[in-house]
Chains A and B, each alone.
Chain A
Amino acid sequence: EAGVAQSPRYKIIEKRQSVAFWCNPISGHATLYWYQQILGQGPKLLIQFQNNGVVDDSQLPKDRFSAERLKGVDSTLKIQPAKLEDSAVYLCASSLDPGTGGFETQYFGPGTRLLVL
Protein backbone atom coordinates (compact mmCIF):
# COMPACT_ATOMS: atom_id res chain seq x y z
CA GLU A 1 0.00 0.00 0.00
CA ALA A 2 1.43 3.37 -1.00
CA GLY A 3 1.91 5.89 1.78
CA VAL A 4 1.09 9.58 1.96
CA ALA A 5 2.91 11.45 -0.79
CA GLN A 6 4.06 15.05 -0.54
CA SER A 7 5.85 17.42 -2.88
CA PRO A 8 8.11 19.23 -3.07
CA ARG A 9 10.37 17.84 -0.36
CA TYR A 10 12.30 21.10 0.01
CA LYS A 11 11.55 24.68 -0.88
CA ILE A 12 13.51 27.90 -0.38
CA ILE A 13 11.79 31.22 -1.00
CA GLU A 14 12.21 34.84 -0.04
CA LYS A 15 9.81 36.56 2.31
CA ARG A 16 6.68 37.96 0.72
CA GLN A 17 6.80 35.32 -2.02
CA SER A 18 4.11 32.67 -2.36
CA VAL A 19 4.50 28.91 -2.15
CA ALA A 20 2.28 25.86 -2.51
CA PHE A 21 2.56 22.33 -1.18
CA TRP A 22 0.82 19.24 -2.47
CA CYS A 23 -0.37 16.13 -0.66
CA ASN A 24 -1.80 12.86 -1.95
CA PRO A 25 -3.25 10.80 0.90
CA ILE A 26 -3.48 7.03 1.17
CA SER A 27 -6.16 5.69 -1.12
CA GLY A 28 -9.55 5.51 0.59
CA HIS A 29 -8.62 7.81 3.46
CA ALA A 30 -11.40 10.33 3.95
CA THR A 31 -9.67 12.51 6.52
CA LEU A 32 -6.67 14.66 5.66
CA TYR A 33 -4.61 16.85 7.99
CA TRP A 34 -1.97 19.51 7.49
CA TYR A 35 0.44 20.06 10.37
CA GLN A 36 3.18 22.65 10.80
CA GLN A 37 6.34 21.54 12.61
CA ILE A 38 8.68 24.34 13.62
CA LEU A 39 12.24 23.31 14.46
CA GLY A 40 12.45 21.95 17.99
CA GLN A 41 8.69 21.64 18.43
CA GLY A 42 6.02 19.03 17.92
CA PRO A 43 3.67 19.23 14.94
CA LYS A 44 0.73 21.60 15.26
CA LEU A 45 -2.51 21.18 13.34
CA LEU A 46 -3.23 23.78 10.69
CA ILE A 47 -6.33 22.33 9.04
CA GLN A 48 -8.36 19.13 8.94
CA PHE A 49 -10.53 17.96 6.04
CA GLN A 50 -13.23 15.32 6.04
CA ASN A 51 -13.59 14.38 2.36
CA ASN A 52 -13.60 17.84 0.73
CA GLY A 53 -15.09 19.73 3.66
CA VAL A 54 -13.18 21.60 6.36
CA VAL A 55 -13.63 20.16 9.88
CA ASP A 56 -11.19 22.35 11.78
CA ASP A 57 -9.18 25.35 10.60
CA SER A 58 -9.13 27.24 13.88
CA GLN A 59 -5.31 27.39 13.95
CA LEU A 60 -4.79 28.30 10.30
CA PRO A 61 -3.52 31.89 9.82
CA LYS A 62 -6.16 32.69 7.28
CA ASP A 63 -4.69 36.06 6.32
CA ARG A 64 -1.85 34.25 4.56
CA PHE A 65 -2.54 30.51 4.55
CA SER A 66 -5.15 28.73 2.46
CA ALA A 67 -5.88 25.09 1.75
CA GLU A 68 -8.21 23.14 -0.43
CA ARG A 69 -9.07 19.53 -1.06
CA LEU A 70 -10.84 19.27 -4.37
CA LYS A 71 -12.79 16.06 -5.05
CA GLY A 72 -11.92 14.80 -1.57
CA VAL A 73 -8.55 13.35 -2.57
CA ASP A 74 -5.44 15.50 -3.15
CA SER A 75 -4.89 18.67 -1.19
CA THR A 76 -2.84 21.82 -1.60
CA LEU A 77 -1.65 24.20 1.10
CA LYS A 78 -0.65 27.71 0.03
CA ILE A 79 1.16 30.52 1.80
CA GLN A 80 0.90 34.02 0.37
CA PRO A 81 2.82 36.11 1.30
CA ALA A 82 5.36 34.09 3.27
CA LYS A 83 7.01 35.39 6.43
CA LEU A 84 10.29 34.39 8.03
CA GLU A 85 8.41 32.62 10.83
CA ASP A 86 6.76 30.30 8.31
CA SER A 87 10.04 28.38 8.02
CA ALA A 88 9.06 24.89 9.13
CA VAL A 89 8.28 21.38 7.97
CA TYR A 90 4.75 20.99 6.65
CA LEU A 91 3.41 17.51 7.27
CA CYS A 92 0.40 15.96 5.64
CA ALA A 93 -1.38 13.04 7.30
CA SER A 94 -4.41 10.96 6.41
CA SER A 95 -6.73 8.52 8.13
CA LEU A 96 -9.83 6.49 7.46
CA ASP A 97 -13.30 7.91 8.02
CA PRO A 98 -14.06 7.63 11.76
CA GLY A 99 -17.36 6.04 10.89
CA THR A 100 -15.78 2.93 9.41
CA GLY A 101 -15.83 1.15 12.75
CA GLY A 102 -12.09 0.86 13.20
CA PHE A 103 -9.77 3.12 15.12
CA GLU A 104 -8.43 5.54 12.58
CA THR A 105 -4.66 5.83 12.86
CA GLN A 106 -3.05 8.86 11.23
CA TYR A 107 -0.35 8.11 8.69
CA PHE A 108 2.16 10.85 7.91
CA GLY A 109 3.93 11.81 4.74
CA PRO A 110 7.65 12.73 4.62
CA GLY A 111 6.91 16.45 4.84
CA THR A 112 7.94 19.55 2.91
CA ARG A 113 10.77 21.53 4.46
CA LEU A 114 10.27 25.27 3.84
CA LEU A 115 12.94 27.88 4.38
CA VAL A 116 11.93 31.53 4.10
CA LEU A 117 14.84 33.95 3.67
Chain B
Amino acid sequence: AQSVTQLGSHVSVSEGALVLLRCNYSSSVPPYLFWYVQYPNQGLQLLLKYTSAATLVKGINGFEAEFKKSETSFHLTKPSAHMSDAAEYFCAVRVDTGRRALTFGSGTRLQVQP
Protein backbone atom coordinates (compact mmCIF):
# COMPACT_ATOMS: atom_id res chain seq x y z
CA ALA B 1 0.00 0.00 0.00
CA GLN B 2 1.14 3.52 -0.67
CA SER B 3 1.18 6.49 1.70
CA VAL B 4 2.17 10.14 1.82
CA THR B 5 3.61 12.22 4.65
CA GLN B 6 3.55 15.99 4.55
CA LEU B 7 5.95 17.57 7.01
CA GLY B 8 4.56 20.68 8.63
CA SER B 9 0.83 21.27 8.86
CA HIS B 10 1.38 25.05 8.71
CA VAL B 11 4.04 27.00 6.84
CA SER B 12 4.35 30.77 6.95
CA VAL B 13 6.48 32.80 4.54
CA SER B 14 6.85 36.44 3.66
CA GLU B 15 5.67 37.73 0.31
CA GLY B 16 8.52 37.32 -2.17
CA ALA B 17 10.23 34.59 -0.17
CA LEU B 18 10.88 31.01 -1.27
CA VAL B 19 8.06 28.53 -0.72
CA LEU B 20 9.05 24.97 0.20
CA LEU B 21 6.38 22.40 1.08
CA ARG B 22 7.64 18.94 1.92
CA CYS B 23 6.20 15.61 0.83
CA ASN B 24 7.60 12.13 1.32
CA TYR B 25 5.96 9.04 -0.09
CA SER B 26 6.00 5.32 0.47
CA SER B 27 5.23 2.92 -2.34
CA SER B 28 6.32 -0.59 -3.25
CA VAL B 29 5.92 0.12 -6.97
CA PRO B 30 6.81 3.18 -9.06
CA PRO B 31 4.40 5.90 -8.02
CA TYR B 32 2.60 8.72 -9.70
CA LEU B 33 2.74 11.85 -7.54
CA PHE B 34 0.58 14.94 -7.45
CA TRP B 35 0.25 18.28 -5.76
CA TYR B 36 -3.21 19.79 -5.39
CA VAL B 37 -4.18 23.20 -4.01
CA GLN B 38 -7.41 23.92 -2.16
CA TYR B 39 -8.67 27.45 -1.63
CA PRO B 40 -11.28 28.10 1.09
CA ASN B 41 -14.65 26.53 0.34
CA GLN B 42 -13.46 25.18 -2.98
CA GLY B 43 -12.54 21.80 -4.39
CA LEU B 44 -9.02 20.64 -5.19
CA GLN B 45 -7.16 22.02 -8.19
CA LEU B 46 -4.25 20.15 -9.74
CA LEU B 47 -0.97 22.07 -9.51
CA LEU B 48 1.32 19.51 -11.09
CA LYS B 49 1.91 15.79 -11.50
CA TYR B 50 4.82 13.39 -11.87
CA THR B 51 4.13 10.49 -14.23
CA SER B 52 7.63 8.96 -14.62
CA ALA B 53 8.83 11.32 -17.34
CA ALA B 54 11.03 14.24 -16.28
CA THR B 55 11.91 14.28 -12.60
CA LEU B 56 11.55 18.08 -12.41
CA VAL B 57 7.93 18.94 -12.98
CA LYS B 58 6.64 22.43 -13.64
CA GLY B 59 3.08 23.30 -12.77
CA ILE B 60 0.73 26.23 -12.77
CA ASN B 61 1.21 29.52 -10.92
CA GLY B 62 5.02 29.20 -10.94
CA PHE B 63 5.18 26.05 -8.79
CA GLU B 64 7.48 23.14 -9.47
CA ALA B 65 8.40 19.89 -7.79
CA GLU B 66 11.27 17.45 -8.08
CA PHE B 67 10.90 13.69 -7.82
CA LYS B 68 13.83 12.20 -5.88
CA LYS B 69 13.61 8.44 -5.76
CA SER B 70 16.61 8.04 -3.44
CA GLU B 71 14.95 10.31 -0.88
CA THR B 72 11.36 9.17 -1.64
CA SER B 73 10.47 12.85 -1.80
CA PHE B 74 8.41 15.15 -4.00
CA HIS B 75 8.78 18.60 -2.45
CA LEU B 76 6.89 21.57 -3.87
CA THR B 77 8.70 24.88 -4.41
CA LYS B 78 8.07 28.36 -5.71
CA PRO B 79 10.86 30.95 -5.90
CA SER B 80 8.77 33.92 -4.83
CA ALA B 81 5.57 33.71 -2.79
CA HIS B 82 2.55 35.81 -3.67
CA MET B 83 -0.32 36.69 -1.39
CA SER B 84 -2.65 34.71 -3.65
CA ASP B 85 -0.67 31.53 -2.89
CA ALA B 86 -2.20 31.34 0.59
CA ALA B 87 -4.17 28.08 0.59
CA GLU B 88 -4.02 24.43 1.65
CA TYR B 89 -1.72 22.18 -0.33
CA PHE B 90 -2.07 18.42 -0.60
CA CYS B 91 0.43 15.89 -1.85
CA ALA B 92 -1.03 12.67 -3.23
CA VAL B 93 0.23 9.35 -4.58
CA ARG B 94 -1.25 6.79 -6.93
CA VAL B 95 0.05 3.59 -8.40
CA ASP B 96 -0.84 2.17 -11.78
CA THR B 97 -2.11 -1.19 -10.70
CA GLY B 98 -5.61 -2.02 -9.54
CA ARG B 99 -7.02 0.72 -7.39
CA ARG B 100 -6.46 4.05 -9.10
CA ALA B 101 -7.74 6.40 -6.45
CA LEU B 102 -5.44 8.95 -4.87
CA THR B 103 -3.97 8.61 -1.40
CA PHE B 104 -3.57 12.06 0.10
CA GLY B 105 -1.34 13.51 2.76
CA SER B 106 -2.84 15.49 5.60
CA GLY B 107 -2.14 18.82 3.94
CA THR B 108 -0.02 21.91 4.59
CA ARG B 109 -1.61 25.30 5.11
CA LEU B 110 0.51 28.03 3.53
CA GLN B 111 0.26 31.50 4.99
CA VAL B 112 1.85 34.42 3.15
CA GLN B 113 2.71 37.48 5.21
CA PRO B 114 2.84 40.92 3.58
Residues of chain A lying within 8 A (CB to CB) of residue B44: 43, 91, 93, 108
A45 lies within 8 A of B106 (CB): no
Give residues 1-47 of B contacting A (CB, 8 Å). 4, 9, 32, 36, 41-46
Residues of chain A lying within 8 A (CB to CB) of residue B103: 45
CA of A48 to CA of B101 in the docked complex: distance in angstroms?
Answer: 7
A110 lies within 8 A of B42 (CB): yes
B99 lies within 8 A of A106 (CB): no
Residues of chain B lying within 8 A (CB to CB) of residue A104: 100
Residues of chain A lying within 8 A (CB to CB) of residue B99: 48, 55-56
Please count how many residues in chain A sit with their CB below 8 Å of the partner chain's CB atoms: 26
B43 lies within 8 A of A48 (CB): no
Q: Is B63 an interface residue (CB 8 A)?
A: no
CA of A31 to CA of B21 in the docked complex: distance in angstroms?
Answer: 30
Residues of chain A lying within 8 A (CB to CB) of residue B106: 40-42
**Identity of the chain B residue whose Cβ is nearest the Cβ of A42 in the assembled complex:** B104
B100 lies within 8 A of A98 (CB): yes
B66, chain A: closest CB distance, angstroms? 19
A41 lies within 8 A of B102 (CB): no
B51, chain A: closest CB distance, angstroms? 5
Q: Is A4 an interface residue (CB 8 A)?
A: yes
A49, chain B: closest CB distance, angstroms? 11
Q: Which 7 A-B pairs have CB atoms at the shortest separation, nearest pair first?
A: A42-B104, A108-B43, A45-B101, A108-B44, A110-B43, A56-B99, A43-B104
* A interface residues (Cβ-Cβ under 8 A, vs B): 4, 31, 33, 40-45, 48, 55-56, 91, 93, 95, 98, 103-111, 113
